[in-house]
Structure 1
Amino acid sequence: MIGVLVTFTQNEKFDRSTLAGIASELRGPFEGMAGLRFKSFMLDEDGVQARNFYVWDDEEKGRSFFTKELVDKVTGVYGVPPTIEYLDIVGFVDNSGT
């Protein structure tokens, strides 16, 4: 299992309603995506970083998802290029079924 943290940082605050619109618009393609367990769209407390967090069941799928074409596309959506961090998930608690 691998986690991927994608961070978009800008000097000005992101507009929360704009980010909520992006999350709503882009949600569909991720629903039922093979190998993707969870994806969240987040905004940090200061409002200058939009973050997307993914949990992938398969490391290869997680790493191969973030192509140059995808990075270029999301750069256009968010207005700034992302920083992508791959994280080894060593433990996981899933309360969604309770």
Structure 2
Amino acid sequence: MKVMAIGTVGAPLTPEQRQQVMPREVPHTLKLYLDGKIEQFWFRPDTGPVFLMDVDSVEEARAIVDDMPLVIDGLAKYQFWPVGPLAPLGLLIQGK
């Protein structure tokens, strides 16, 4: 199952917050990527991180993200959107 985890950072991080959290957040995110839980990732300057996750459920995605340093420290919140193939395209295949 694919889940989009869309992050919102409440306020821009102060230099002190950035120094404290990013040395933990970056390796944590990289490990999730290498483990195959985060398939792709982006950053939206107006809101924050966006992850395309490969998980078994929205609940698993939520549990994984809730363990990330930015979330633990109360600096980010996420919304979770399950996504999948564009099902109506199957109607275009003859015989379907």
Q: Secondary structure at the match of 1:66?
A: helix
Aligned partner of 1:29 in structure 2 is 31
Q: Which amino acid aligns with 1:52?
A: V
Q: Which structure is larger by alpha-carbon Rg, 1 or 2? A: 2
**Inter-CA distance 41–20: structure 2 relative to 1 (3 Å threshold):** farther
Does residue 2 of the first structure (1) align with residue 2 of the second (2)? yes
Of the three residues 15, 39, 59, the one matched with 1:63 is: 59
Q: Which runs of no fewer than 5 residues in structure 2 stay unpaired? A: 87-96
Aligned partner of 1:53 in structure 2 is 51
Count of residues in Structure 1 that have an aligned counterpart in Structure 2: 81
**Maintained 8 Å contact 1:23/1:41:** no
Distance 1:70 1:27 in 2: 9
Q: Percent identity?
A: 6
**Maintained 8 Å contact 2:3/2:61:** no
**Inter-CA distance 21–27: structure 2 relative to 1 (3 Å threshold):** same
TM-score by length of 1: 0.50
Q: Which has the higher helix share?
A: 2
Distance 1:54 1:39 in 2: 5
Q: Secondary structure at the match of 2:75?
A: coil
Distance 2:24 2:50 in 1: 11
Distance 1:8 1:23 in 2: 15
Q: Which runs of no fewer than 5 residues in structure 1 stay unpaired? A: 92-98
